[in-house]
Structure formats: structure tokens, C-alpha cells
Amino acid sequence: MQHFVVALLARLDNALYDVREREEGQGLVEYVTLIALIALGLFVAIIFFRDQLGSIFSLITDKISSQLP
């Protein structure tokens, strides 16, 4: 019985160590951070260039509208 308890405690200790030392989620956090930074950069660029983008989209809309019957 004592050997069973020691083996069980050893397995529990190994399982807890594996959970603490696992780095699988680290890559996900890095990708989410990278995507968030890219989205923030795009957001700032859109705000900075909003007037120019608005005029470009207006030109595109006018050209498409002029081609419609």
C-alpha cells in the first residue's frame, strides 16, 4: 500500500510539473499580441489618412457609378 501511495504522489508531482512548465500557450499569446499590434497600426493609419482614403473611395464610387446603365 505504501508503494502505491508513493507512486501516486510521484505521478501527481510529475503532472503538476508538466502543467507548470508547459509552453504551448506561449505561441498563441505571441500571435494574438502581434495581431493586436497590426490592428492598432492599421487603425492609426486609417485615422491619419482618412481624408485621402475618403477622396480615393469617392473617386472609385464615381467611376463605378458612371459605368452603370
Amino acid at 25: G
| pTM beyond cutoff 0.75 | no
Q: Is residue 68 part of a domain?
A: yes
Rounded mean pLDDT, 23-42: 86
**Cell numbers linked to 22:** 508547459
Q: How many helices (H) and strands (E) does the chain have?
A: 3, 0
For residue 23, what pLDDT is reported?
Answer: 65
Domain of residue 39 covers: 25-69
Overall domain count for the chain: 1
pLDDT tens per residue, range 33-54: 999 999 999 999 999 999 999 9
Which of 21-25, 27-31, 34-38, 50-54 is the least confident region?
21-25
Nearest to 28 by CA among 36, 19, 20: 36
Q: How confident is the prediction for the chain on average, in pLDDT?
A: 85
Q: Is residue 55 part of a domain?
A: yes
